[in-house]
Amino acid sequence: MDKLSDEMLVAQFQTGRQDAFDVLMARYKQRIYAYLLRSVKNYEDAEELTIEVFIKIYRALGTWQPRAKFTTWIYKIAHNLSVDHYRSKSRRATSYLDDENLVIDEPASTDMRSNPEHVVLEQDRHRIIHEAIGQLSPNQRSVFVMSRYNCLQIREIAEIMGMAEGTVKIHLHRAVKKLKVILQPMWDNNEI
């Protein structure tokens, strides 16, 4: 069942096979969680929102029609929930996160000859990059993360975010340009 396409799994779920949903959830849970973590910058909130995404998917899957790719649909749900979460947080005007202590797990080197110094330098590099991404506008950050970390295409991002492809390209271009400006001094000093 793991080798079936998303659409085939949805069709099986719609015919009553509950285990098809389990396969879909296992396939996308980590990706959605990572996307939400980068969006909301809080482990607990990202975990809760991930659960909420899959609850929404489960409830809507029985009537889902493939008007777009399945991945586009679930990322749109995740994006909308992160936007709603951001709006509710800004309304409350209280912050529950300590950005300085937030470290997103990035792929670490699997080279067995790595020494602890390289591991620490790599973790520091990821922290610096994460902080730079945090300085982007919400739209720039979302577009950048979906493009570079989630490997989504421009048209998929446009559909998820409900904007024109040209607007997505502009946000991505501005995000990359701003990151270059932010990270260049550190690059020149060999800090990253």
Domain boundaries, the chain: 1-96, 103-192
pLDDT at 73 over 80: yes
Count of other CB atoms within 10 angstroms of residue 96? 10
Q: What is the mean pLDDT of the chain?
A: 81
* Alpha helix (H) residue ranges in 5-69: 6-14, 19-40, 43-61
CB 41 within 8 A of CB 49: no
Count of other CB atoms within 10 angstroms of residue 139? 18
Maximal C-alpha separation, the chain:
59
Q: Does domain 1-96 have CATH number 1.10.1740.10?
A: yes
Does the global pTM surpass 0.75? no
148-184 per-position pLDDT tens digit: 888 888 998 998 888 899 999 999 999 999 988 888 8
Domain topology for 103-192: Arc Repressor Mutant, subunit A (1.10.10)
Residue 39 is predicted with a pLDDT of 84
CA pair distance 108, 105, nearest whole angstrom: 8
Residue 55 is predicted with a pLDDT of 93
1-96 and 103-192 share one fold: no
**pLDDT-based confidence at residue 86 (cuts at 50, 70, 90):** confident
